[in-house]
Structure 1
Amino acid sequence: MTATGADQETAGGTTRGYWWWERRRGVALDVGLGLLSALECALEGVSFAGDTGLPVPVGVLFGLLAGSVLVLRRRWPIAVVLVAIATTPAGMGFLMGLVGLYTLAASDVPRRITAVLTGMSFAGTFIVTYVRLRQSVAEQDDFGPGDWYVPLISLFMSLGLTAPPVLFGLYIGARRRLMESLRERADSLERELSLLADRAEERAEWARTEERHRIAREMHDVVAHRVSLMVVHAAALQAVAPKDPAKAVRNAALVGDMGRQALTELREMLGVLRTGESVTARPAQVPLASVGQAAAAAAAAATEDGPRLHEVETLVGESRAAGMTVELSVDGEAPAYPPEVEQTAYRVVQEALTNVHKHAAGAKTWVRLAHREAEVAMQVENGPSDSATADAGLPSGGNGLVGMRERVLGLGGVFVSGPTDAGGFRVSAVLPAQGKAA
């Protein structure tokens, strides 16, 4: 990060910064290195002034200015290395060269530029060392090494002043980039985990909603149909009791049987719910994804234990026993349907007959089933209500048709309902033979 003022804000809060430094530690380090480099170059400037004939204060001032450039190493590492190369013939800037090459190699400067500047620094150091060492050897009459001595020592000096800082800078730069990449990856994974947790919570909420809707539909199918028949029989019992005690006894027995059947179905449903309630309640130690699995398992268990399509005849018989005129026709042979298809078909017929009891008392009703190659179709149609038949006064919540439509569409079927031209009402549904997966 590069700052242009005295204060800058970071992700963790507000920190004190100066220009291009992110931390005070960086300011102290670079200023300290700049002072050391300026002091070194100033001392070496004395010798430089003596060799060139310049006044000593000029050499010292030149050394101070050249060495202080090291303060800019983080912002302009290329400029620092160039100044270090330029001052190499003057015999100064060794600390600046070492630190400058390290900073250049560790920075994000393109590698081609780093290689070129490293080569220039190596060549400059080699030439200056070679020339000075050759002059020193020539001045010593009692020291006569071979021709290999000067170039070999110059090579070692050049490598020692360029290779270690560059290699160490490359290592530090690679390590820093790796750590930044790991931090970015960790932040990305944290965001992904947060998104996954949100989606898991949404799926869990969806599963709970679907389970509530399923329970509501099952309760409606069981209670509405059975209780409707019980109310119809109770009304008939009240009407015939004074005139025909034997028929009243039969009606009372039918009411008792239907009540027991309703209780049996409710107990089965509650048993399924209790089986999965420990997971559906979602305690803290249970993963969110298991909620949807528990809901699906409870729904599957309820489907396995639900009614079957062949029980439609019994359903029609119960309506006939309640005084309704019902005709049942079945086309084709029933293959082995999945449990959810049979249960949905049964519930559609059941709810349609319940609606006839509620809204069209005394109306003649036709129930038709058709088993086809890839689908099963059902239709329940009633004629106009018999005005001579007393209304049982059954309440209606208006959710019967909605529940039937949800069931059929949930399996990928087609559902149509509406009044007929004759003044009655028709409910039609077509389900795929293999359910939604087909």
Structure 2
Amino acid sequence: MTATGEDRTGARMEGRPVGPWWWERWRGAVLDGALAFVSAVECSIEGVEFARDAGLPSSVGVVFGALAGSVLLVRRMWPVAVVLVFIAVAPAQMGYLMGLVGLYTLAASEAPRRIIGALSGMAFTGVFIVWFVQATQITRGEDAGVSGDAVVGGDEWFALFLGLTVAIGLTAPPVLLGLYVGARRRLMESLRERADSLERELQLLAERAEERAEWARGEERTRIAREMHDVVAHRVSLMVVHAAALQAVARKDPEKAVKNAALVGDMGRQALTELREMLGVLRSGDGFSTVRSAEPVSVPLAAVGAAAAAAASRAEDEVGEGPCLAELEVLVGQSAAAGMVVELSVEGEVRVYAAEVEQTAYRVVQEALTNVHKHAAGAKTHVRLAHRSAEIAMQVENGPPPEPGAAGAARLPSGGNGLLGMKERVAELGGVFVSGPTDAGGFRVSAVIPA
């Protein structure tokens, strides 16, 4: 029932009033001081009669009663000592207020139940014996100034009843009230600790949610950039290559120039169609209508990523759900039409895979061919596709450019994100992606995706 140093320090930091010594608040100190004063006065008055019966000076009884009653000052620190003092002075018929307050404080404290029960039993026994003996003396007419004829009966049952009634009245109510108050206080402290724990957990969850939202924002930005890059970059790169070839042969071979111009127009229209599809989905909010009530920070980016993926899948091919391995020949043919010397070889038994596997394989080959156009224009390229029992493997390898300056002849910009995007796509499906230069001065891109 005492305030520890840690609790008092915390109370000072929180600005709460802190009482002196072992009191948590000043009002508790004032209350205990008032109770101790009243108890000291009571015990002093009762001590006068006790000293007279014992043949001692009245001043001794007053001092003894004042000292005994003032023990209530330490009831919060040592409630056991208060009850023991009450049991000690009970035969002198003094300290009843001290007994009531002491038993209540002991029962409400954190003392073990066996100690509370033992001291309560001792106090009950002491009060019962004192009042039983006194009532017996009254009924037998042994008190001074009362004759035997004036005593009604001499019945000891009255003394027993009086002793039990007084003992129960002085011990049971304070003990029961103290037990109730102590249990309620412990329950409130437990609820307060649980509330603090829940508040800390909610704070941690909020921090983790913010971290996950930040991570989701980064993932969606990467995903949107990858989708835009895969959908548009290849055709735009081919358009630039054809435009450069058109500029070179415009005067020498008008027929070939017209053919290249038609190819550029077709590829431009396809690129515009894909961009229009994607931007149309993003502006119409197809991915937003179902998530209006969600978190305003992370959901829009997630919806944008989903919308970009949906637009990309719709814009890839007007008759299918997206690019597939069956379209590799068309893809290779487009690069060949742009002037690349490219060969396609397929090994193993051709079969159908999951849509995401075929799309990823297609994208890897597409991006590898785009990189050849950017960095090794005119280099001979070999595309290999291998169908295996539990996986599908692809490899795009090109030799060195035929002329030292051919690599940058088309002046195609490069952001350096193509290889990273391919690696991320393959890793999402549990595959392996490897890229790097060859000993012959070319470049090789390899990927293996589980089927």
Instruction: Identify whether the pair has TM-score above 0.5, normalized to the shorter chain.
Output: yes
Aligned to 1:221: 230
Structure 1 residue 406 displacement after superposition: 2.0
Mapping of 1:274-423 within 5 angstroms? 274=283, 275=285, 278=288, 286=295, 290=299, 294=303, 297-298=306-307, 301=310, 304-305=313-314, 306-387=322-403, 390=406, 391-423=409-441
CA contact (8 A) 1:8 1:14 kept: no
- 389-398 or 103-112: bigger deviation: 389-398
The correspondence for 2:199, drawn from 167, 174, 190, is 190
- 268-277 or 9-18: bigger deviation: 268-277
Q: Which amino acid aligns with 2:345?
A: S
1:272–1:9: structure 2 CA closer, same or farther, 3 Å change rule? Answer: same
Structure 1 residue 299 displacement after superposition: 6.7
CA contact (8 A) 1:8 1:16 kept: no
Aligned to 1:210: 219
Looking at structure 2, the residues matched to 366 and 21 of structure 1 have their Cα atoms a distance apart, in angstroms, of 88
Structure 2: tracts of 5 or more residues without a match: 142-147, 315-321
Structure 1 residue 287 displacement after superposition: 6.5
Q: Which amino acid aligns with 1:65?
A: L
Q: Which amino acid aligns with 2:310?
A: A
Mapping of 1:38-437 within 5 angstroms? 38-139=40-141, 141=149, 142-144=151-153, 146-274=155-283, 275=285, 278=288, 286=295, 290=299, 294=303, 297-298=306-307, 301=310, 304-305=313-314, 306-387=322-403, 390=406, 391-433=409-451
1:26–1:399: structure 2 CA closer, same or farther, 3 Å change rule? Answer: same
Looking at structure 2, the residues matched to 263 and 297 of structure 1 have their Cα atoms a distance apart, in angstroms, of 20
Looking at structure 2, the residues matched to 54 and 289 of structure 1 have their Cα atoms a distance apart, in angstroms, of 88
Structure 1 residue 379 displacement after superposition: 0.7
Looking at structure 2, the residues matched to 350 and 9 of structure 1 have their Cα atoms a distance apart, in angstroms, of 66
Looking at structure 2, the residues matched to 227 and 131 of structure 1 have their Cα atoms a distance apart, in angstroms, of 114
Structure 1: tracts of 5 or more residues without a match: 434-438
1:144–1:293: structure 2 CA closer, same or farther, 3 Å change rule? Answer: farther
Q: Which amino acid aligns with 1:402?
A: L
The correspondence for 2:36, drawn from 19, 34, 37, is 34
Q: Which amino acid aligns with 1:96?
A: M
Looking at structure 1, the residues matched to 352 and 153 of structure 2 have their Cα atoms a distance apart, in angstroms, of 109
CA contact (8 A) 2:239 2:267 kept: yes
Structure 1 residue 20 displacement after superposition: 0.5
CA contact (8 A) 2:227 2:309 kept: no
CA contact (8 A) 1:276 1:295 kept: no
> What secondary structure, in the 3-state scheme, does the structure 1 residue paired with 2:3 have?
coil
> What secondary structure, in the 3-state scheme, does the structure 1 residue paired with 2:440 have?
coil
Q: Which amino acid aligns with 1:399?
A: N
CA contact (8 A) 1:211 1:299 kept: no
Looking at structure 2, the residues matched to 339 and 234 of structure 1 have their Cα atoms a distance apart, in angstroms, of 34
> What secondary structure, in the 3-state scheme, does the structure 1 residue paired with 2:433 have?
strand
Q: Deviations over 1:278-322 (max 9, x none)?
A: 589x98973667568646744763575453333222211110111
Q: Deviations over 1:350-380 (max 9, x none)?
A: 1100111111111111111222232221111
CA contact (8 A) 2:433 2:446 kept: yes
Q: Which amino acid aligns with 2:259?
A: R
Could you tell me the TM-score, scaled by structure 2's length? 0.88
Q: Deviations over 1:136-170 (max 9, x none)?
A: 11115431154422222212221111111111111
Q: Which amino acid aligns with 1:95?
A: L
CA contact (8 A) 1:233 1:251 kept: yes
- 374-383 or 183-192: bigger deviation: 374-383
Structure 1 residue 225 displacement after superposition: 1.4
State the identity as a percent.
69
Structure 1 residue 9 displacement after superposition: 4.9
CA contact (8 A) 1:365 1:382 kept: yes
Looking at structure 2, the residues matched to 291 and 105 of structure 1 have their Cα atoms a distance apart, in angstroms, of 60
Q: Which amino acid aligns with 1:136?
A: I
Q: Which amino acid aligns with 1:368?
A: R
Could you tell me the TM-score, scaled by structure 1's length? 0.91
Structure 1 residue 429 displacement after superposition: 0.3
- Coordinate RMSD, CA, aligned: 2.6
Equivalenced residue count is 431
Looking at structure 1, the residues matched to 378 and 287 of structure 2 have their Cα atoms a distance apart, in angstroms, of 43
